[in-house]
Structure 1
Amino acid sequence: MPLLPLELAFISTPTKCIIHPLNRLLHTASRSATPAYPLRLSLNAKEQSLVPSPTDEASLTQPFLPPISTFSEKDLKALYRDVLRIDVASTVSPSYRDKIVDPSLVLPRLSKRIVLGSRQTLDKNINSLSSRLQSRHGPSEPVAAPTNLSRGKPYSELLNALQCQQSVLALPLISNSSTSAPIVNATEWASLVDACIRELDFEGVFLVLRAMKTHGQVIEDELHHHIMSAMADEGLFHQLQTYASEFLQERDDMPHFQHIVTALCKCRLFSSAIQLLHQQEAKGHLPPMAVYHSLILGLLHTSSPGAAARQAIAWNIFYHMRYVAHPIPSVQLYTDMIRACAHHTEPDTLRGFDLWTEMTVDKRLTPTVDAYNAIILLAARDNRTAHEAIRLAREMLDVGRDADGKPALPLNTGTYAALLESCKHTGDLLRARWALTKLAGDVFTSTSSIDHWTLSNLFHAYASYKVPFVRDMAAPTRSEQPSLEAHKQAQSIEQRLDDIVATTATQSSITSGLQLPQTSKAVLNELDTMMDHLIAEKTSTGNIKTQLPRLFDQVTNLNIVIRSFLRAYFIHAHRVSDVFARAQSIHRLLKLDWSHEVIRLVLSQCARTGSGSPSQETMKFAEELWSAWLGILEKERHLPNRWTPMGLNTPADRREVPISTVRASHISMIWSSFIRLKTRYGDVDGAVQLLKQFERLYPPSTTKTNLDPHMPLETKISLEGPRTLIKVVERGKIDDDTIPPVLVFTDIVALHKRLARDQRTKDINYLTYLLHAYAGNVRDRRSFNLAVNDLEDGWRGKKSVGSDGEAKVKARIKWEKRRARVASRVRTSRR
């Protein structure tokens, strides 16, 4: 039995006996009293007197000293380690697919064993005595030739041989030894099944499983789950039903129900999945929590259009599950819901922290590493709680440390990525470097975990970093007349700043020291160093590949990285021409076309920078980007729009015909930015022509079409059972992300001012008509989609004025004030 820390302290360090005054009186009384037991037995069974001797009297006057510990420092450390031992394993168990042997190693061995063996067995059985005797009594049935199954696959001959061998085993006069001998072991069967799954050949999977049943091989539950998960990811719900009826007949727990729900969500048949779930509830067969979890994840992890509405349905299903079937969710489900709060367009911080408190305090569930990563990411994405992410990370490290100081929940790549997200909001460049160093890992063994999101967040941290020295501080003010001494002093300060910049530039690297850049030029030098390293890795020019470590192997989406890099460059560069030159050089070296992310950033920055007319160089670069933007629209014109709701759409269909990458809000932002640039440059006619071109491509009438079919219109759904599904997300707070590109007044306010100054009444009337048409149709679309009337229910965009009662009271007061004003005017006119 391990000792308690108090016992360990008592053993290791002797303490002095402090006698309480009351105990001292009792001790004195016991000395003068007659002993109650005059005799005692010794070790040799002889009676001895208990009357204290003079030596005993002397010993009683001395304080009691506990025995000195005989434990060494090593023994005490071992005891301390046993007391603080962590019995729960912190490592994640490997998945079933990781346990499967690589099919490329197994397929050649199986082909050599089965393909050749099946040919020899077939020839032997055809020439056997039984076949000749059967041919005398009647016409012999021809042996079926092997069909070409899975043509073109690396295992096609193997599957044909398995099918042929099944027919051979059905022939008579075959010895029992040949039928009972195992052709393939369990590991090789699993590798063959995994090879078919990697090729998305599920007909071959069915054939392999039938062969396993023929040869008496037991199919493990993990293999069943692996196959059904692959089918669910491809949206094959019909094949899942066939699979369950053929291979899971003896199972009563319906393990395929979870995968059928996932497959329906992959095909965007969300209403069918919810209806199937409610049918099971109405029958009294409450599905397990894994089924609800699969449905919630299917609703959350779908892209636009209609993502906001499906997220609202997911939250309704989450609370409905707690009300109907499972009141206490699992830790993983809590984690996914907290992560969903973090991935909102506007992070739902309050709801996420409420779930965290409920999980850890109310339900007393032990959080995992993923749970801490989710709450850290939620705190990091909000500017008000970005510093709270650091505290949560420290709390995560302090959970369950052992004697050696090793935490039970160590930080992983997800934690460092979340902390890098917080550095982006706080501008903490020092901690951002530290997180990047941890993500880089052992760079010389190619274990870097830096991806395009990580690198993008790092560049955003550079963009939000505030340099302590500004060059404008060295220049004299305009009101002062610069004297010779002031000019010399300014030159000396300028030279000192340049020396600091040079020193910082020589010492700066991706993982170097604690010195932060002191000027904007030093920040630009560090940005250029990292971008040059990225370009060198992606282009592999010269001997850079052998000289520098590989940091950015996992960086795939370069457009996102370039956009965040140029954003930081715009903030810290002194001239816009430097940004243009750097952007052109990056695209030329990486051989990339202009992406809509870069075009949107550059045009919006140029439109917002300055108040006067833009330079000719800026307009030339903007015209180049606009030509590239029109080319992107022409190239993606045949693709489905991101704001058009789609019906039945399987993952295979999405791979063949991908959806457009441009969002409706991005189109509106790019168009409005270029219109503002044209207006500031003085080309008003060109700005008006751009406005008319936008109306031709995206007319106001399209805002009433393609309504989202997944918008939750009902306030309450009654089931056949005794319980009801109550909506927890109000309709008015659901963002409609299926709205086509539109323009509002704030987008073209500069053009309106210029038209009013030039007194162009005809263009002003056209502008007024167009803006009112877009606004009115969007208002009607909102009422059609959400069944919300902005004037009656009191909704103003995303936020509500109050409850329905408060909105009606305010409307009543406003109407009474207006009636009073009208009545006073009437009385005044009569007088």
Structure 2
Amino acid sequence: MPGITSDAPTGLGATHSTGEGARLPVRRLYGPSYPHEPAPLPPLSTLSLDERPPPTFPLYRPAPSPSPIPQNSPRYPDPKSLPSDAKIARSLKVRLSKRVVKDLPPLEEDDLREFYAALVESGAEEAARRYEVLEAPKEERLRLGDGEREEVLRGLAERVLGLNAQKPPPLGEHEGANMVAGPSRLTGIVSGDAVPTQTIIHALASISSEDEDQNEGGLSDLPLGLVSRKEWEALFDQTLSETNPGSAEVLLGVMQAHGVSPSAEHLSDILAHYASHGLLGEAKRIETVLAEAGYQLSTSQHDILTSAHLHASGPIGAIAHLKTYELSSHPAPQSSYGLVLSHLLERDPSSHTRALAWDLFAHMRLSAHPTPCREIYRLMITSCGASSDPQPERARDLWIELTQDNGSIPDEPEYTAAIRALSSTKKDYLEAFDLLRQMLARHHDATYVPFSEDEDAWAGRLRRGQRQRSMSRWIPSLETWKALLEGTKRAGDLPRARWVLAESLRMARASEMAGYPVKGPDEDMMASVFMTYAAWKPIVARRQVRVRGGVGAEGISRDSDTQESTAGTTGDTVQHIEDPLVDVDLTEEISAGDRVAQDVSTAQGEAADPTSPQTAADALGEASALFHQILRPASSSSLLTDPFRDTRPSTRLVNSYLSVQLAHSQTLAAARTAWDETWSDAVLVERGVRPNGWSYLIALEKCALGNRQLSQENREEATSWGRKLWDEYLSFQSSLSVSPSDSGSHTISGTGFGLGLGPRQIERAWRAIIRIHTLADDTTGALSLLSDFQARHPPSRILDSYAPIPDAGLGLRFTDPTTVREADVPPHMLFEDVRVLHQRLVRDEDGRGLGLVKWVTTGYEKALEKRRKWRLKGAGKGGEVRSRRVEMIAAADGEELRNEPEEHGEVGREEAGQEKAEHKEAEHEEAEHEAAKKA
């Protein structure tokens, strides 16, 4: 159309007159191609696609104001941006250092190592020192010797009493008998006589009283310098040394009258005197006076009072004393609880005392001290390692509580206690070695010196300034090594036992070289080593040994016998140690003997460890070499040349070595020969070493082995040697005056368990000799021994020795009384102990013997069952526990229970009816026994 062209504006302001003009761009867009392209549309905006359009609002935008001059501009500098004096000095040092080292050659690797080592070691001596927290000086009592004290008292007497005497003779032993009752004799003392302390006390008291009478105000005009502090202390100590604590109390009053205040140590000394002499009433009197005066007892005074209760009334009275302070909201310190716990766990421990100790431990945490101290933790962990009642799980819980919950870093005593507790069982002893590894890691971290040339873990660095660094709080002690051996001897772990012995010797030698003498292995440690040898099982049995080089089996057997019988020759070879600083190589000591060098191969073909014994002969040879080196006279007092200088032959050491001989000897005759020779050699070295109950027990049990362990030719030797040992055992037992007391327990001069005469050891010895006679087909002798045992240890003693578990009235019981093991059960014989005898009697159809065996064993079983019933019912606690069955039996017999006499000691009248009921049953059994005899 004429009015519309292609150049017409098509923007927002364009207008179209007709609809045809409006559809024209659409035709061009979707229609067919035209010969020429249309003109492009003008751009709608000058903005690019990447730019954002300017905001529409606000409509008014003021012009930006001129920017102010910044404060950090050169015209206005910031003071903080200026370098400090320290920064300027540091920059100057850096520039000077660069200028100095500019022409120096680069450092080599060795130079860097030495520089780093010197840098670390520069503070070793300073770090080794311990700086304690500065405290205010405490006033301590002046302690004088006897001679100095006498001189001071003489001068005091001359000044106070007006004596111009020569030096008096020593104070008499019975000076207290010559003491005057008052000042009437003050002017009648002859010069040269010993002046009693009582006279001086009365003189000082009279001077003070006269001064107070002259002064209306009641204040003394006596100068305080009349009696010095040193003279007061000498007079007080002399009064206590004369066992006159009453006069010491009077002296404290005189001191106050003279204006001198007594210290807390004076009261502690008087309390300690009362406690040591068992005067509990006097100690409690002083305690009451101090409490009324509002005086707070110190820790040492609490401990002294607790000790007084322990000596006077035992642990029950001491626990009652501790509970009194708990009720007053001022509990006693943990050291007082520790005294009672130590008394229960260490003095004469039993299952009952251990149960009471755990109850007190739980009660203390509930009522007094929720968080125990390290000493209490160590004491309770140590108690978990008792051989009669091992509790490694409980020890592990206490250890975790100490180290993790409380965050304490244990020292060597705590590690030793935990190691001993874990070593008390065969199952957990490997954890003890893990604790040792942790302990050694702490020691290494504390004493580590980088790039140290010394490869010995214990020798340390002996150069100047590094001696202190080689020591730490985590060095294993002799008790630590012995605790580890408690586990190896239970498991028969000989390689670890040999490692422990070698490490202990290396540590002792290195400590001696460094100037810190440490005790080497003693007899108890070596006894544990020998017990490990005895419990060790040979890796290669005799039947698996194959000999090369034309040596027959007879040669090996003959050579083994030579080793077992002539161990002295092997022991002499240990003298050829060239280097005293090397480890104790036990294998080299054995190989230097007379043993023929042979190539031994196992049946499996595996290469065994050449440094560890493989056969019983190897173990026996090593043990013999060690034992004879111990018996050898000490050539010097140094561990470098004599590693066993601290080992003294003892009965326990000899018994442990004999257990190795009995366990690994090829024949019983060789073991018997070694027995006789060993005791002869030990007596020559150490007088007083004699066999005890343990010596005879291990030999009797060896002779009582069955036919599978002993051959027929050894059986005759076992019978003859066993009878000889039994006669010596009875002589040894009678020499110690073993006599049953009224309570049924055995009174032995010494510790029964240590002498091998405890109740369980007596049972084992009698069981062994009965078995020896039975295996020799001497049933008549075995029955005679059984009757003798029943006469020596009747079943009635099992009931007579019953005692209730002590009840201290604690609010919390950690243990159940019904689950506590029985303590002090007398020797008894059950059916399992004489099963072999019973089988032989059945084979021989000996009815009389069978009846005797049944009667004896049944009597012990019923006595044990009755005692167990008493324990479950809590009998013996004042008669508050009554059994309904007892009342019914008593009513059936026509007797009232209250009329029964107390024939059962602590058990009470509640068991009298039961005794009558069971008496009838016993009479019936005796009738059956008589009938069996007639048959």
Change (3 A) 1:100 1:747: farther
Question: 625-634 vs 110-119, which deviates more?
Answer: 110-119
The residue number in structure 1 matching 2:828 is: 742
Of 417, 422, 440 in structure 2, the residue corresponding to residue 379 of structure 1 is: 422
Q: What code does the residue aligned with 2:413 have?
A: D
Displacement, 1:169?
A: 4.6
Q: Is the 8 A contact 2:399 2:418 kept in 1?
A: yes
Of 650, 653, 657 in structure 2, the residue corresponding to residue 561 of structure 1 is: 653
Q: What code does the residue aligned with 2:863 have?
A: N
Is 1:513–2:557 an aligned residue pair? no
Q: Is the 8 A contact 2:141 2:265 kept in 1?
A: no
User: C-alpha separation between the residues in 1 aligned to 2:415 and 2:624?
Assistant: 34
Is 1:290–2:335 an aligned residue pair? yes
The residue number in structure 2 matching 1:607 is: 704
Secondary structure of the 1:269 match is helix
User: C-alpha separation between the residues in 2 aligned to 1:345 and 1:776?
Assistant: 25
Displacement, 1:383?
A: 1.6
Q: What code does the residue aligned with 1:288 have?
A: P
User: C-alpha separation between the residues in 1 aligned to 2:200 and 2:549?
Assistant: 98
The residue number in structure 2 matching 1:29 is: none
Q: Is the 8 A contact 2:736 2:749 kept in 1?
A: no
User: C-alpha separation between the residues in 2 aligned to 1:604 and 1:447?
Assistant: 39
Report matched runs for 1:44-59 at 5 Å. Answer: none
The residue number in structure 1 matching 2:315 is: 270
The residue number in structure 1 matching 2:728 is: 628
Displacement, 1:687?
A: 1.2
**Number of equivalenced pairs:** 670
1:328-353 C-alpha deviation (Å, 9 max, x unpaired): 22122112111111125242111111
User: C-alpha separation between the residues in 1 aligned to 2:628 and 2:763?
Assistant: 33
Of 284, 288, 297 in structure 2, the residue corresponding to residue 253 of structure 1 is: 297
Of 147, 163, 166 in structure 2, the residue corresponding to residue 124 of structure 1 is: 163
Q: Is the 8 A contact 2:841 2:850 kept in 1?
A: yes
Displacement, 1:593?
A: 3.4
Change (3 A) 1:245 1:631: farther
Change (3 A) 1:374 1:621: same
Q: Is the 8 A contact 2:255 2:262 kept in 1?
A: no
1:566-622 C-alpha deviation (Å, 9 max, x unpaired): 112222222333333333334344243331121222212221363566544434433
The residue number in structure 1 matching 2:764 is: 669
1:173-229 C-alpha deviation (Å, 9 max, x unpaired): 99969842455596x899989xx8xxxx78267767876886788776578668867
The residue number in structure 1 matching 2:819 is: 733
Displacement, 1:665?
A: 0.9
Change (3 A) 1:751 1:120: farther
Of 410, 415, 433 in structure 2, the residue corresponding to residue 390 of structure 1 is: 433
Question: 702-711 vs 106-115, which deviates more?
Answer: 106-115
Displacement, 1:489?
A: 6.0
Displacement, 1:82?
A: 6.6
Change (3 A) 1:763 1:419: same
Q: Is the 8 A contact 1:376 1:389 kept in 2?
A: yes
Q: What code does the residue aligned with 1:380 have?
A: S
Of 858, 862, 866 in structure 2, the residue corresponding to residue 780 of structure 1 is: 866
Change (3 A) 1:120 1:78: same
Of 463, 486, 506 in structure 1, the residue corresponding to residue 534 of structure 2 is: 463
Q: What code does the residue aligned with 1:694 have?
A: F
The residue number in structure 2 matching 1:303 is: 348
Question: 586-595 vs 307-316, which deviates more?
Answer: 586-595
Q: Is the 8 A contact 1:471 1:494 kept in 2?
A: no
The residue number in structure 1 matching 2:628 is: 532
Change (3 A) 1:242 1:616: farther
Change (3 A) 1:167 1:178: farther
Secondary structure of the 1:608 match is coil
User: C-alpha separation between the residues in 2 aligned to 1:525 and 1:556?
Assistant: 21
Q: What code does the residue aligned with 1:203 have?
A: T
Displacement, 1:751?
A: 1.3
Of 689, 714, 724 in structure 1, the residue corresponding to residue 784 of structure 2 is: 689
Change (3 A) 1:102 1:292: closer
The residue number in structure 2 matching 1:24 is: none
Question: 236-245 vs 751-760, which deviates more?
Answer: 236-245
| Rg larger in structure | 2
Of 673, 676, 684 in structure 2, the residue corresponding to residue 584 of structure 1 is: 676
Is 1:203–2:203 an aligned residue pair? no
Report matched runs for 1:768-807 at 5 Å. Answer: 768-787=854-873
User: C-alpha separation between the residues in 2 aligned to 1:629 and 1:491?
Assistant: 37
Change (3 A) 1:549 1:747: farther
Change (3 A) 1:430 1:536: closer
User: C-alpha separation between the residues in 1 aligned to 2:639 and 2:320?
Assistant: 60
1:509-531 C-alpha deviation (Å, 9 max, x unpaired): 89623644535444334433443
Is 1:431–2:527 an aligned residue pair? no
Displacement, 1:774?
A: 0.3
User: C-alpha separation between the residues in 1 aligned to 2:122 and 2:636?
Assistant: 48
User: C-alpha separation between the residues in 1 aligned to 2:819 and 2:275?
Assistant: 32
Q: Is the 8 A contact 1:369 1:411 kept in 2?
A: yes
Is 1:597–2:694 an aligned residue pair? yes
The residue number in structure 1 matching 2:56 is: none
Is 1:705–2:773 an aligned residue pair? no
Report matched runs for 1:154-303 at 5 Å. Answer: 161-167=196-202, 169=204, 179-182=226-229, 203=243, 237-238=280-281, 240-241=283-284, 244=287, 251-253=295-297, 255=299, 256-266=301-311, 269-303=314-348
User: C-alpha separation between the residues in 2 aligned to 1:674 and 1:742?
Assistant: 15
Q: What code does the residue aligned with 2:725 have?
A: L
Secondary structure of the 1:141 match is helix
Q: What code does the residue aligned with 1:757 have?
A: R
1:526-556 C-alpha deviation (Å, 9 max, x unpaired): 433443344455xx8xx78899967667667
User: C-alpha separation between the residues in 2 aligned to 1:125 and 1:158?
Assistant: 11
User: C-alpha separation between the residues in 1 aligned to 2:775 and 2:265?
Assistant: 65
Q: What code does the residue aligned with 2:405 have?
A: D
1:761-785 C-alpha deviation (Å, 9 max, x unpaired): 1111111111111011111112213
1:722-777 C-alpha deviation (Å, 9 max, x unpaired): xx723231233211122111111222122111111111111111111111110111
The structure with higher relative contact order (CA 8 Å, sep 6+) is 1
Change (3 A) 1:395 1:643: farther
Secondary structure of the 1:725 match is coil
Question: 724-733 vs 314-323, which deviates more?
Answer: 724-733
Displacement, 1:503?
A: 9.0
User: C-alpha separation between the residues in 1 aligned to 2:99 and 2:272?
Assistant: 64
User: C-alpha separation between the residues in 1 aligned to 2:779 and 2:479?
Assistant: 50
Displacement, 1:707?
A: 1.7
Q: What code does the residue aligned with 2:487 have?
A: S
The residue number in structure 2 matching 1:316 is: 359
Report matched runs for 1:409-420 at 5 Å. Answer: 409-420=474-485
Q: Is the 8 A contact 1:376 1:393 kept in 2?
A: yes
User: C-alpha separation between the residues in 2 aligned to 1:498 and 1:159?
Assistant: 76
The residue number in structure 2 matching 1:821 is: none
Change (3 A) 1:775 1:265: farther
Displacement, 1:488?
A: 4.8
1:294-327 C-alpha deviation (Å, 9 max, x unpaired): 32222222325xx101211211221222222222
Q: Is the 8 A contact 1:162 1:211 kept in 2?
A: no
Q: Is the 8 A contact 1:300 1:310 kept in 2?
A: yes
User: C-alpha separation between the residues in 1 aligned to 2:351 and 2:639?
Assistant: 48
Q: Is the 8 A contact 1:536 1:545 kept in 2?
A: no
Change (3 A) 1:449 1:488: closer
Change (3 A) 1:210 1:414: farther
Identity of aligned residues (%): 18
User: C-alpha separation between the residues in 2 aligned to 1:144 and 1:576?
Assistant: 87
